[in-house]
């Protein structure tokens, strides 16, 4: 009977440090549509007062031009009688005619002006009830950029950071909010 006893002990400690850093960035877009159906019913009384003034100015102008022509005709006869010493009588007569014209022009201008004013006040009361339904569609686009950074060292601390940046693009508004997620892990490497 043979008996062999063998005892062997292997002992080693292995420790290494492994560092890894990576960063991931990606962008995605989401479009959201919110639809609201609203039914509104309202009634109101509306009273309004209307006052207007009516001013009328009338100008009447009457122009009358009258022309009158007047002509005078004068005719006269001039008789000369000459008596000479030799007992002979000689009569000389001649007639002279001339015309004289008169032009008369008369102008009449007549002007008439009248101003009339009228004031009217109107008061009305109107009441109506309105019921309407409308559909409100709210649409916006969300652009998100995610930055994922992870750095860890074995047998040390794993730091995990996640940055979430969202930009909302509305019809007339743009706003941005940032989410930061930070995780801490402990990892051991063997």
Within a domain: 179: yes
In whole angstroms, give the CA distance from residue 40 to residue 92: 124
Identify the pLDDT of residue 186. Answer: 47
Per cent of the chain over pLDDT 90 is 0
Instruction: Please give, one letter per residue, the 3-state secondary structure of the chain.
Output: CCCCCCCCCCCCCCCCCCEEEEEEEEEEEEEEEEEEEEEEEEEEEEEEEEEEEEEEEEEEEEEEEEEEEEEEEEEEEEEEEEECCCCCEEEEEEEEEEEEEEEEEEEEEEEEEEEEEEEEEEEEEEEEEEEEEEEEEEEEEEEEEEEEEEEEECCCEEEEEEEEEEEEECCCCEEEEEEEEEEEEECCCC
Identify the pLDDT of residue 6. Answer: 43
In whole angstroms, give the CA distance from residue 162 to residue 24: 10
Identify the pLDDT of residue 95. Answer: 56
Identify the pLDDT of residue 73. Answer: 56
Identify the pLDDT of residue 127. Answer: 72
Within a domain: 35: yes
Residues of the chain scoring pLDDT < 50: 1-17, 156-157, 185-190
Number of domains composing the chain: 1
Within a domain: 132: yes
Identify the pLDDT of residue 86. Answer: 58
Within a domain: 49: yes
Identify the pLDDT of residue 1. Answer: 46
Identify the pLDDT of residue 12. Answer: 46
Within a domain: 41: yes
Within a domain: 12: no
Contact 148, 183 (CB under 8 A): no
In whole angstroms, give the CA distance from residue 166 to residue 28: 9
Within a domain: 84: no
Which domain does 111 fall in, by range? 19-78+96-186
Within a domain: 164: yes
């Amino acid at each position: 009977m043979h008996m062999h006893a063998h005892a062997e002990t292997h002992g080693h400690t292995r420790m290494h440090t492994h560092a890894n850093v990576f960063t991931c960035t990606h962008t995605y877009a989401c479009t959201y549509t919110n639809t609201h159906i609203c039914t509104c019913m309202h009634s109101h009384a509306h009273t309004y007062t209307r006052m207007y003034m009516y001013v009328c100015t009338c100008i009447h102008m009457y122009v009358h031009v009258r022309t009158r022509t007047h002509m005078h005709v004068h005719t006269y006869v001039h008789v000369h009688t000459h008596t000479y010493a030799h007992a002979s009588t000689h009569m000389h007569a001649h007639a002279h005619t001339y015309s004289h014209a008169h032009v008369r022009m008369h102008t009449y201008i007549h002007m008439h002006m009248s101003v009339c004013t009228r004031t009217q006040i109107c008061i009305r009361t109107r009441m109506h009830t309105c019921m309407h339904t409308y559909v409100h569609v709210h649409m916006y686009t969300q652009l998100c950029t995610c930055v994922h950074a992870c750095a860890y060292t074995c047998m040390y601390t794993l730091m995990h950071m996640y940055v979430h940046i969202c930009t909302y693009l509305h019809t007339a508004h743009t706003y941005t909010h940032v989410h930061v997620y930070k995780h801490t892990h402990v990892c051991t490497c063997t």
